[in-house]
Amino acid sequence: MAIRWRQDLEIGIEKIDDQHKELVDSMNNLLEACSAGRAKEEIEKTLAFISDYVVTHFNYEQEYLQKYGYPKYDAHVKLHKFFLQEIEELNKKYEEEGPTLHFIVVFNKKILDWFINHIGKADRDFAEYLRSSGKIS
């Protein structure tokens, strides 16, 4: 089952929305591979992408939040650090376990949960702050 990008997922900051779409595309590639029985071939590529993605994306987002004086900056960064730790743990688990069905299920769940909760809540909150303070339209 693919993740459908919908307009209500957009936070209104083009570069961040584009980065979020890249994450959706990567997850959809993995989900499609799972459906086609090719998950083991795709998981390593997706894990490598996610590992790089979070560093680049979080750095950009944090610079943006700092630039505009987001009052919940520290809490937002704390969420990023927590997820970075989760990705590090997933990498270790992959090294130990390899591309097992268990690993793939856990990986999908963690990434999808983060997508729903972080982008859908925390990122939306800072975008609302920026709009309400007139810093973006």
Residue whose C-alpha is closest to residue 30's, from 15, 47, 18, 13: 47
What is the predicted pLDDT for the residue at 137?
63
> What is the pLDDT, as a whole number, of residue 72?
96
> Which pLDDT tens digits describe the chain residue by residue (137 residues)?
677 888 878 888 899 999 999 988 998 888 888 888 888 888 889 999 999 999 999 999 999 999 999 999 999 999 999 999 999 999 999 999 888 888 988 998 898 888 888 888 899 999 999 889 887 76
Rounded CA-CA distance 91/12 in Å is 32
119, 20 Cβ separation under 8 angstroms: yes
Q: Where are the domains of the chain?
A: 42-137
Burial (CB < 10 A; 0-12, 13-18, 19+), residue 109, is exposed
* Counts of helices then strands in the chain (DSSP H, E): 5, 0
Look at domain 42-137 and name its CATH class: mainly alpha
Q: List the structure tokens of 112.
A: 């999808």
This model's pTM is above 0.85: yes
